[in-house]
Amino acid sequence: MTETIVLPNAADVDLAAKKLAGVAIRTPLVNSPVLDALLGARVFLKCETLQRTGSFKFRGAYNKISSIPPDKRAGGVVAYSSGNHAQGVAHAAQLCNLPAVIVMPSDAPQAKRERTAALGAEVVLYDRDTEDRAAIARGIAATRGAILVPPFDDPMIIAGQGTVGREICEDLEKLALKPDVAVVGVSGGGLIAGIALAMKARVPAMKFYSAEPEGFDDTLRSFKNGKREVNPRMSGTICDALMTSMPGVITWEINRKLVGEGVTANDAEVGRAVAFAFRELKLVVEPGGAIGLAALLAGKLDVRGKIVVAVLSGGNVDAALFQRLIGS
């Protein structure tokens, strides 16, 4: 017997957009003449670095948490995350007056741990190399009668993230433009799945590429092999937000149909992208949030003559690491 998988669709993204209206920030879509000249394309960057809690994760978290029925709220919510989903869930729970427990790796950036706690969440640390974060979170949820809020593999989370793509299409339409290519950073695949659902519904011919750190390319290998692949390790890249072990069940079903292609970038390329965003765009982007831009700057895709979108998915970076990257 196989469990039926419930997949979200573009209509679910539209419903999420209504729920997020007036709550989530409608982040800007920026164009840089310098970047256009470098790539020979018209490149637009979706600045989710400016979203509440500094990443796109707030969108899915709020869409999920605000939908919890009143009779199921007493136990609060539990989530597991390296930092961005943690902050998104903590803030969404705060807005909905719910207690939150967040299971975070002990090596997560200190800034992310501190901000999560500052938003009122209880932080439980684990060892990313030896412990199962999902199992820890499920145990806490069972003990407390709490609702588990997954980082990506959930229809409402995916629909909430999809509002990023909906906004991109709307903003490009105002410029009388249609996107040809979108490059989106991937961990578990929730962001690119939601964006692909929203944008494919409006521009069916456009192409999507996942972007992952070199050595943590489980989604790209899954595309090539036709089944979900696992990363051999769970640490060892500056892209701390992009180290999920394998694609989600739901996200894989969406991404294998709507995406199907991907690229990688190494830490040096990501570092140069972080520095480029700071120097040329005056934006603070964390390494995982800059992965799509890194792939473009490194020439991993030929986008000449095309209208290209890359998502700057987060800006929560430790000051010491950021200083090192922009000074290199």
Q: Looking at the structure, tell me whether residues 211 and 307 fall in a common domain.
A: yes
Whether the full predicted model's pTM is greater than 0.85, yes or no, is yes
Spatial CB neighbours of 122, under 8 Å, sequence gap ≥ 6: 99, 100, 101, 102
| 48-86 tens-digit pLDDT | 999 999 999 999 999 999 999 999 999 999 999 878 999
Same domain as 67, residue 36:
no
- In angstroms, rounded to a whole number, what is the distance separating the alpha carbons of residues 266 and 260? 21
Q: What's the domain count of the chain? A: 2
Q: Which domain holds residue 215?
A: 10-55+155-326
Query: Do 85 and 209 fall into the same domain?
Result: no
Q: What is the pLDDT of residues 31-51, one digit of tens each?
A: 999 999 999 999 999 999 999
Grade residue 328 by pLDDT with cuts at 50, 70 and 90.
low
How far apart (Å, rounded) are the C-alpha atoms in residues 156 and 282?
33
Q: At what angle do helices 57-65 and 155-174 cross, to 10 degrees?
A: 130
Residue 5 inside a domain? The answer is no
Residue pair 165/196 in contact (Cβ under 8 Å)? The answer is yes
Judge whether 2 lies within some domain. no
Query: For residue 186, what is the domain's CATH number?
Result: 3.40.50.1100
- The percentage of the chain sitting over the pLDDT mark of 70, rounded to a whole number, equals 99
Q: Which of 89, 124, 148 is the last residue of a domain?
A: 148
Average pLDDT of the chain is: 95
pLDDT at 234: 81
Question: What is the pLDDT at residue 108?
Answer: 81
What is the pLDDT at residue 233? 86
Instruction: Measure the CA dihedral 44/48/50/54, to 10°.
Output: -150
Residues 115-140 have pLDDT tens digits of 999 999 999 999 988 899 889 999 99
Q: Quick: pLDDT tens for 171-211.
A: 999 999 999 999 999 999 999 999 999 999 999 999 999 99
Could you tell me if residue 3 is inside a domain?
no
Half-sphere exposure of 60 (CA within 13 A, CB side): 33
Q: Answer yes or no: is 41 within a domain.
A: yes
Closest CA to 301 of 184, 205, 197, 190: 184
Q: Is the pLDDT of residue 1 over 50?
A: no
Helix axes 10-20, 155-174, angle to 10 degrees: 80
In terms of domains, do 258 and 296 share one?
yes
Among residues 100, 127, 148, the one where a domain terminates is 148
Whether the per-residue pLDDT at 275 is higher than 70: the answer is yes
